[in-house]
Amino acid sequence: MDSVSERFASPLRSKRLTVVLGRWLALAFTVCFATGLFSHLLQDPPGWMLFLTRPEWLYGATQGIHVTTGIASIPLLAAKLWSVFPELLRWPPLKSVVHGLERASIALFVAASLVEVAIGLLNTFQWYPWTFGFKDVHYWLAWVVIGSLALHIAVKLPLIAAHWSRRQEAATAGTANAGTAAPGETAVDGATVSAAVQSPLGRGWSRRGFLAALAAGTGVVVLTMAGQSFNWLAGLNLFAPRRMDTGPQGVPVNRTAAQAGVAQAAMDPDWVLTVASGAVQKTFTLAQLAALPQFSYGLPIACVEGWSQGAQWRGVRIRDLMATVGAPADAELQISSLEKGGVYGRSFMPAAYSQDDQTLLALELNGAPLDLDHGFPARIIAPGRPGVLQTKWVHKVEVI
Amino acid sequence: MRLPVMLPPATAERGTMWWVRAALGASGTAALGYAVFGFLVHVPLVQLLGLAAWLAAALVVHDGVLVPLTTLAGGGLSRLTYGLRPLQQWIVRASLLIGALMTLVAAPLIRAQQVLQPDGPESGPNDTVLQGGYAQALGIFWLVLVVAAAVAVAAVAAVGLYARRSSVRKTRP
């Protein structure tokens, strides 16, 4: 069976290559995890959560980085796993209980990483060919991935340190040849080191040649897809599921009125907005809302799926609206949509947003009344919040 | 008196490496434990079975199909490009790797377009998702890649030929 393993061996596959790829992938996974956790905390905030409303583009940037590093980790993960593939075929498959546990943890790590990046990518274009809920599974799998990553580094740290740089690797190989290294590693290390160092462009390709090609490939994938998140790359956007400046009023739509089943209720001429604080309750028609002081701000709408779009919004300040029913300054609000149920049906607005100057009940987008798909007659737009919380087709705002 | 020196340094001073590994191991185990707790509390059993199927399929497809295919392709490429200069071999391999990576990421978009739009069984009326002509873009991408690689390979050959000729000329008396 070891002959099978050897058949997959190549002078390119070496511990040094794996360590370099592992560094790149670990960095991508860590950034992806941190930005994903930030997005999760904004959507399901714990009591201690600090809400930042400036800069307005903060969430667009962190979520754009989240989706982009997720995309970048697809080539990096493929290369990393390719570099260690012969390990899978090592014989005997199980040497001891500890060895079995380590292999099981690696299998979990590999499977979780593959599924995590795959479902993350598919979610960016709202394709769900599976039987589980995306949000929960993506979140909990992220903990599996980051936990397995830490465990994997803990197990492999001596090897990682020995192959961290070429100089260290050469030193290790030197001592290995002197006969003090672990048995079984000596010959392999000695051979791969010289192969990698001595043949910069030998038969097939060298480590640096491979790494350069992988960096180029990852760069091409990122550059042709990140234009959905970062407008300075919009011109190169060939393969992203989203395009900037498209859709009704030049702004993409996450969920249409037809999908939400609200078209009829939203177009009803008898629509009124209910504003409530305790026992005090008021209703406003669209004309009455339009007669209140209007403010206009340029704010991005940034979706958890990674796309974002700057736009000019005009409407009533939420702060002013709540003052009409005597709501306290630190009021937390519940916003209800005409859409019933689901994650879009209602949202909660902490005081950091409800008190912000730029948080609007928007009636206009880019100089015209809101399109039905953008939440006509009225929607929430607040600085630095995930798009899923920018509730559309609002019919009630109340203090909780 | 030589015995203590021979013993593993269990009671000796623990180095930075030991502490880093212990911290990583402990936090990794804690994160995994948190994940297991989260899955059991927040995800219904039926969904967990669906996830388990995806995890297993990911291993089978990746380890059983994708990696063996790339290994075969790499071996075939070594034969095909035999006799080419190392730089030319690199250009061929790098172009194929870049093309393969782009295809890997773009393929789900193309498939999703077929399944989700315009009249698929799960078709949604949202036409601001999957707007691009991804199949066409991928075709053009490959075309540009192949042409660029061919030009680069030819340029390397031409430069090599020129260098050889001029060195030959210099050695003449």
Instruction: For residue B90, give the H/E element and its range.
Output: helix B86-116
Residue spans per domain, chain B: 1-42, 81-173
Q: Any CB–CB contact under 8 A between B129 and chain A?
A: yes
The size of chain A, in residues, is 400
User: Hey, which residues 47-86 in chain B have their CB within 8 Å of chain A?
Assistant: 47-48, 50-51, 54-56, 58-59, 62-63, 66-67, 70-71, 74, 77-78, 86
Q: What is the pLDDT of residues A330-378, one digit of tens each?
A: 899 999 999 988 788 999 999 999 999 999 999 999 999 999 999 999 9
Q: Looking at domain A2-164+199-236, does it have CATH number 3.30.1490?
A: no
Q: Which of A205, A187, A212, A216 is nearest to A10 (CA)?
A: A205
- Whether residue A196 is predicted with pLDDT greater than 50 in this model: the reply is no
Strands A379-381 and A360-365 turn out to be: antiparallel
For chain A, where do the domains classified as CATH 3.90.420.10 start and end? Answer: 250-399
Mean pLDDT of A81-94: 89
Q: How far is the alpha carbon of A340 from chain B, nearest alpha carbon, in Å?
A: 19
Sheet with A346-349, edge to edge strand ranges: A280-284, A273-277, A394-399, A333-337, A346-349
Q: What is the pLDDT of residues A346-356, one digit of tens each?
A: 999 999 999 99
Q: Note whether A217 contacts B48, CB cutoff 8 Å.
A: no
> Other CB atoms closer than 10 Å to residue A45's CB: what's the count?
14
Give the position of tokens 């050897």: A6
CATH of A250-399, picked from 1.10.3080.10, 3.30.1490.110, 3.90.420.10, 3.40.50.720, is 3.90.420.10
CA atoms within a 13 Å half-sphere pointing along the CA-CB vector of A368 = 7
Q: Which of A240, A212, A300 is nearest to A71 (CA)?
A: A240
Q: What is the mean pLDDT of chain A?
A: 90
Q: Any CB–CB contact under 8 A between A236 and chain B?
A: no
Amino acid type, A318:
I
| Chain B residues within an 8 Å CB radius of A226 | none
For chain A, where do the domains classified as CATH 1.20.950 start and end? Answer: 2-164+199-236
- Whether residue A178 is predicted with pLDDT greater than 70 in this model: the reply is no
Q: Any CB–CB contact under 8 A between B20 and chain A?
A: yes
Report the alpha-carbon distance of residue A347 to residue A392 in Å, rounded: 10
- Whether residue A169 is predicted with pLDDT greater than 90 in this model: the reply is no
Q: Note whether A137 contacts B70, CB cutoff 8 Å.
A: no
- Chain B residue with CA closest to A89: the answer is B63
The pLDDT of residue A202 is: 45
- Tell me if ipTM is over 0.95: no
Distance between start and end Cα atoms, chain B? 77
Q: Note whether B47 contacts A132, CB cutoff 8 Å.
A: yes
